[in-house]
Structure 1
Amino acid sequence: MKTITSRDNPAVKRLHALAHSARDRRSEGRTLLDGAHLVRAALDAGWPLRELVASDQGLGRAEIADLLERCTGVPAIHLTDALFAHVSPVDTPSGLLAVIDLPVPPPTRAFAESLLVLDGVQDAGNLGTILRTAAAAGMRDVLLTPGCAQAWSPRVLRAGMGGHFCLRLYEHADVAVLLQGYPGQILATGLGAGARGLYEMDLRGTVAWLFGAEGRGLSMAVAALATDTVVIPMPGAVESLNVAAAAAVCLFEQVRQRRVA
């Protein structure tokens, strides 16, 4: 394992760019996984690792040492704690990073199963949490409109905690085109007139769930695709839920209904 101690080293500059620049990630075709849990999830999913990066403190942790031993043959470098903090994509460095290739976009196709549509979700934590929830609920396909955060950015990956590796992610999706002929319900959440209670809906069949940006909600174009609008009952003294929480409630109500069907 090579040790690097200078910020001027080309490897350090490259890692810093991957951590902090969407343009550089696209240009190089690679991104960073942050933390032992995420690296293990990638390995368990058979995702190839291109490079491993460990800090002084990281090398002292048994969990990270075990992962490095498991990854014999993967190029690895050792950074001082200060340098690792410099290239880390998060405020609290984990002690371990991995470089992976950005995936080839999945081929477009006619969808016949339940799926998730995310329209302009820009917060990395929310987006990653929703992707993890979708994977946990058994979803396979997620369509992301051009206004969404970069799905494979290090912060979204960190929040997703491995959910990415179970999903087919369609970024910059033309949702209107991809949902043409969709055989199931297309449901949006909202409070408008005519909205139906979530727990009154029959969700056992195929559903395309539409969730919008944290502040403005769904764009008019995406909202117009909905065949129905559902409202989540909230007896407490709040008006709305965070988009990640709303997605979790809806997806797992569908899971619940399918289990008792």
Structure 2
Amino acid sequence: MKTITSRDNPLYKDLKHLAGSSQARRKAGQTLLDGVHLCQSYLALRGAPLHCIVAEGALANPEVADIIMQCESAHAYVTAMPDALYNALSQVEHGVGLMFLIATPVLAAPGVLTASAVLLDNLQDPGNVGSILRSAAAAGITQVYCSSGTAFCWSPKVLRAAMGAHFVVDIHENVDLAELVKAAAIPVLATSGYATQRLYDVDLARPVAWLLGHEGQGVAHDLLALATHQVVIPHLGQIESLNVAACAAVCFFEQLRQIQSK
């Protein structure tokens, strides 16, 4: 284990840049996982990180100590630093004091849709994107395709909201969703508050692609026109619509219910 004590340390400067800039994360093809749960999930599902960074005040934490031991056993770099330096990197208030530097996956260009998938059209809120990834993973959906206008999936806020889902799903970003939908070999279901077909009246016991849109404007009109079905989730009361992440969870688990009922 090495120790950093200065803000002028080159590694620290690089970490600070990554922590504060989505553009820097995209350019470097790297991101930071902050917290014990994300780091444990990464170790279990993807293996050792590029670098393990720990606050000196966290070294006595048994969970942190165990993660450090696993990293060192896998010959990963481990660096400790004073709490003040670590806290300037972390975006988690009152966090444990542990983060991983990892490489973001580089995936092949999307092929024809044949397995259940999620298509995200211009979703802006990182919390919504992360929640949708988490629900998709929990429902057994492993393919996610994001338009260029969707929040960067490897940002700290999306990572925290997804709670490890990133490590069990394949996330394709900057995808031309129109071309993907046109070539799809499975039904594409777009959610819309103006649709007349109820979600519960559609046969979902088969692979489908879920097309979810912007929090305020919904799925773009050109994509809606390409979808096989436009579906609505019936609801009571005076609320106009569901939050997109809640809508996604209802859709995914209705599909799972139908599959398991066969």
TM-score scaled by structure 1?
Answer: 0.94
Could you give the per-residue CA deviations for residues 156-212 of structure 1, whole angstroms, max 9, x where no partner exists? 1121111111111110001121223323221111122x5211122211122111111
Q: State the SS of the aligned residue for 1:71.
A: helix
Unpaired segments ≥5 residues, structure 2: none
The question of 1:159 aligning with 2:178 is answered: no
Could you give the per-residue CA deviations for residues 205-236 of structure 1, whole angstroms, max 9, x where no partner exists? 22111111112211222222212211112123
Residue 186 of structure 2: aligned partner: 184
Q: State the SS of the aligned residue for 1:180.
A: helix
Q: C-alpha distance in 1, partners of 2:193/2:27?
A: 42
Q: State the SS of the aligned residue for 2:183.
A: coil
Residue 11 of structure 2: aligned partner: 11
Q: How large is the Cα RMSD of the aligned pairs? A: 1.5
Residue 52 of structure 1: aligned partner: 52
Contact 1:3 1:79 (8 Å CA) reproduced: yes
Among candidates 165, 173, 176, match of residue 174 of structure 1: 176
Q: C-alpha distance in 2, partners of 1:6/1:195?
A: 61
Alignment length (residue pairs): 260
TM-score scaled by structure 2?
Answer: 0.93
The question of 1:119 aligning with 2:118 is answered: no
Contact 1:102 1:152 (8 Å CA) reproduced: yes
Contact 1:118 1:144 (8 Å CA) reproduced: yes
The question of 1:217 aligning with 2:227 is answered: no
Contact 2:71 2:78 (8 Å CA) reproduced: no
Residue 31 of structure 1: aligned partner: 31
Q: C-alpha distance in 1, partners of 2:220/2:214?
A: 8
Residue 2 of structure 1: aligned partner: 2
Q: C-alpha distance in 2, partners of 1:143/1:237?
A: 32
After the TM superposition, which residues 102-141 of structure 1 pair with which residues of structure 2 at under 5 Å, given as runs?
102-141=104-143
Contact 2:191 2:219 (8 Å CA) reproduced: no
Cα gap change, 1:29 to 1:181, in 2 (>3 Å): closer
